[in-house]
Structure 1
Amino acid sequence: MDRLRIGVIGLGWFGEIHCETIIGVPNLELAALCTRQPDRLAAMGAKFGVAKTYADYNDMLADPEIDAVSICTMWDQHVGPAVAALKAGKHVFLEKPIASTVEDARTIIEASKGARGILFVGHIVRFNPRYRMAKQAIDTGKIGKIVALSSRRNIPAAWTPTILNKIGPIVGDAIHDTDIMLWFTGEKIVSAYAQTISVRNLKHPDIGQTMYRFESGATATLETVWCMPEKTPFDIDERMSIIGTEGIIHVQDTFPNLGIVSSDKLHSPDTTYWPEFNGVRGGALRDEFSYFANCALAGETPVMGVPTDAAAALEATLAAEESARTGNVIRIGQG
C-alpha cells in the first residue's frame, strides 16, 4: 500500500484546514468525513468531493477501507474516537491537546499499547523549521546547558471569542511552547506558577502568564495574550529565547516575515504553519501529515508527536491553570 485512506472526525474550522492539507499530501487520500452537523457534513463532502460521510464516527471506523483518522473534535471529546479508532486498528492523528485531563490522556495512551495502528499527537510547532534548527543546535552543544527560556505566543482578539468559551490560552496555546521547551531541555517540569487576566469576561481569561521550573533548576516564562488589538497587522506574535551557559538562540516567526500593504491595511499573514495556495494548505501542517503518513505506511513508531510527550505538556499546562485559580505554586509529578 502506497497511500493511506484517511477520514477526518470533527469538521470545525481546523478540521476543514486538516482536509485542505490532506488533499495536498501525495500518500494520503481524503476518503471520509464525520461530523454530527448534517449541513456541515454535506457542505464539506461537496467541497472536497468525498462520498463517504458519517454522522457517527463508529460507522466510519467500521469501514475496512479506511486506514487512518484525523481527530479534530474539541479537546474534551478526544477519548471516545481516539480509543475506538485504535481498537479498530486505524492509524490515529490526534490534534493537540491530547485530552482535557491527565487521566483521559493516560486512557488514550493505554489504548495505543499493542494497537495495530500508530498514535501520533499533532504538536505542530515541532515541524516549524526554525524550532527544528534550534533543536539541532541545542543537541550539538552549541549553547551549552540550558538555564532559561522565554516565549511569546499572542494572537488578535478577533480570533478568540468563540475559542475562549471552550479553552483558555495556557492550555490552548502555551501548550505549544511548553511542548517545545520539554523537547529542547529533555527534562521534566517540576513546578508551575501562573496568573491570568480576564479582559472581555468570557468563560476563560484572555491572558495567561506562566512560569515553570525544570528538574535541572532551569526556569521558563511563557506569555499568551489572546486579545491583541483589532488592528494588529499580524496573525501571530510568536517568539522564543533559549539561554544556555555558552550561547543563546532566538526564534522569531512573526511580523514582518511577510508584509502586504493594501489600500486599507498592512497585513502579515501566516507563512509557516498552514499557508494556503489555490485551496491547498502547505507549511508545517503538511510536513506533519507527511511524517504521520510515512511512519504509518512504513510501520515505524513516530519519534515526533509522541503521546507521552503530549501528556507531559498537558500536565504542565493544567498545573499552570490550577496555579492561576489558586494562587499557589503547583508541584508536578511529586509522589
Structure 2
Amino acid sequence: MDRLRMGVIGLGWFGEIHAETIAGVPNLELAALCTRTPERLAEMGKKFGVSKLYRDYREMLDDPDIDAVSICTMWDQHTAPAVDALKAGKHVFLEKPIASTVADARTITAAAKDAKGILFIGHVVRFNPRFRMAKQAIDEGRIGKIVALSSRRNIPAAWTPTILEKIGPIVGDAIHDTDIMLWMTGDRIVSAYAQTVDVRGLKYPDIGQTMYRFAGGASATLETVWCMPEKTPFDIDERMSIIGSEGIIHIQDTFPNLAIVDDNKLHSPDTTYWPMFNGVRGGALREEFNYFASCALKGEAVTIGTAEDATAALEATLAAEESARTGELVRIG
C-alpha cells in the first residue's frame, strides 16, 4: 500500500483545516467525513467531493476501505472515537490535547499498545522548522545545560469567544509550549503554579500565566493571552527563549514575517502552521500529516507526537489550571 484512505471525524473549523491539508498530501486520500450536523456534513461533502458521509463515526470505522482517521472532536470527546478506531485497526491522528483528563489519556495510550494501527497526537509546533532547529542545536550540546525557559503564545480576541466556552488558554494553547519545553529539556515537570485573568466574562478566563519547575532544576514561565485587541494585524505572537549554561536560543514566529497592506489595513497572515496554497494547506500541519502517513505506511510507531509525551504535557497544564483555581502550587508525580 502506498496510499492511506483517510476519514475525518469532527468537522468544526479545525476539522475542515485537517481535510484541506489531507487533500494536498500525495499519499493520503480524503475518503470520508463525519459530523453529527447534517447541514455541515452535506456542505463539507460538496466542498471536498467526498461521497462517504457519516453522522455516526462507528459506521465509518466499520468501512474496510478506510485505513486511517483524523479525530478533531472536542477534547473531552476524544476517548471513545480514538479507542474505537484503534480497536477497529485504523491508524489514528488525534488532535491535541490527547484528552481532557489524565485517566482518559492513559486509556487511549493503553488502547494503542497492541493495536494494528499507529497512534499519533497532533502537537503541530514540533513541526515548526524554527523549533525543530532549536531542538537540533540543543541535542548537539550547543547551549549546554538548560536552566530557564520562557514562552509567549498570544492571539487576538476575535479568535477566542467561541473557544473560551470550550477550553481555557493554559490547556488550550500553553500545552503547545509545555510540550515543546518537555521536548527541549528531555526532562519532566515536577510542579506548576499559575494565575488567570478573566477579561470578558466567558466560561474560561482570557489569560493564563504559568510557572513550571523541572526535575533537573530548570524553571519556566509561559504567557498565554487570548484577548489581544481585535484590530491586531497578525494571528499569533509566538516566542520562546531557552537559556543554557553555555548559550541562548530565541525563537520568534510572529509579526511581521509577512506584511500585506490593502484597503489601508496591515495584515500579517500565518506563513508557518497551515497557510493556504492553491486550495490546500501547507506548512507545519502538512509536514505533520506527511510524517503520520510515512509512519503508518511503513508500520512504524511514531517517535514524535507519542501518547506518552502528550499525556505529560496534558498532566502539567491540568496541574497549572488547578493551581490557578486554588491559588496553590501543585506538585506532579
Q: State the match for 2:241 in structure 1.
A: 241
Distance (Å, rounded) in 1 between the aligned partners of 2:38 and 2:266: 38
- Once residues 4 and 314 of structure 1 are traced to their aligned partners in structure 2, the CA distance between those partners, rounded to angstroms, is 29
Match of 1:274 in 2: 274
Q: CA deviation at 1:264?
A: 2.9
Residue in structure 2 matched with residue 88 of structure 1 by the alignment: 88
How far did 1:263 drift? 1.9
Of stretches 97-106 and 254-263 in structure 1, the one that deviates more from structure 2 is: 254-263
Distance 2:154 2:251 in 1: 15
TM-score normalised by the chain length of structure 1? 0.99
Aligned position for 1:19:
19
**Who is 2:315 aligned against?**
315
- Equivalent-residue separation in structure 1 for 2:260 and 2:68 (angstroms): 38
For 1:302, the equivalent position in structure 2 comes to: 302
What SS does structure 2 have at the residue aligned with 1:98? coil
Partner AA of 1:153 in structure 2? R
Instruction: Name the CA distance, whole Å, in 1 between partners of 2:174 and 2:324.
Output: 14
Give CA deviations for 1:101-159 in whole Å, capped at 9, x if unaligned.
00000000011110000000000000000000000000000000000000000000000
Q: Could you tell me which residue of structure 2 aligns to residue 144 of structure 1? A: 144
In structure 1, the partner of 2:10 is 10
Is residue 207 from structure 1 mapped to residue 212 from structure 2 by the alignment?
no
Structure 2 residue aligned with 1:222: 222
What is the match of residue 101 of structure 2? 101
Give identity over the alignment, percent.
Answer: 82
* Matches of 1:161 and 1:317, distance apart in 2: 21
Structure 2: which 5+ runs fail to align? none
Cross-structure match for 1:182:
182
* SS in structure 2 at match of 1:184: helix
Task: Report the secondary structure of 1:296's partner residue.
Answer: helix
Cα distance, 1:278 vs structure 2 = 1.9
* Cross-structure match for 1:38: 38
Deviations 1:148-175 (A, max 9, x none): 0000000000000000000000000000
Q: Structure 2: how far apart are the matches of 1:185 and 1:131?
A: 13
Q: Distance in 1 between matches of 2:115 and 2:230?
A: 46
CA distance in 2, matches of 1:140, 1:330: 33
The one-letter amino acid paired with 1:57 is: Y
Measure, in 2, the Cα distance between the counterparts of 1:146 and 1:329.
23
Q: Secondary structure at the match of 1:194?
A: strand
State the secondary structure of the residue aligned to 1:233: coil
Aligned to 1:125: 125
Tell me the TM-score normalised to structure 2 length.
1.00
2:104 alignment partner, SS class: helix
Q: Distance in 2 between matches of 1:239 and 1:34?
A: 35
| 1:156-175 matches, cutoff 5 A | 156-175=156-175
What is the distance in 2 between the residues matched to 1:230 and 1:201?
A: 17
CA shift at 1:277, angstroms?
1.2
**What SS does the corresponding residue of 1:105 show, helix, strand or coil?**
helix
2:97 & 2:5 partners in 1: Cα distance?
Answer: 24
* Cα separation, 2, equivalents of 1:29 and 1:263: 39
The CA RMSD measured in Å over matched residues stands at: 0.4
CA deviations 1:36-95 (Å, max 9, x no partner) are: 000000000000000000000000000000000000000000001000000000000000
> SS of the counterpart of 1:152?
strand
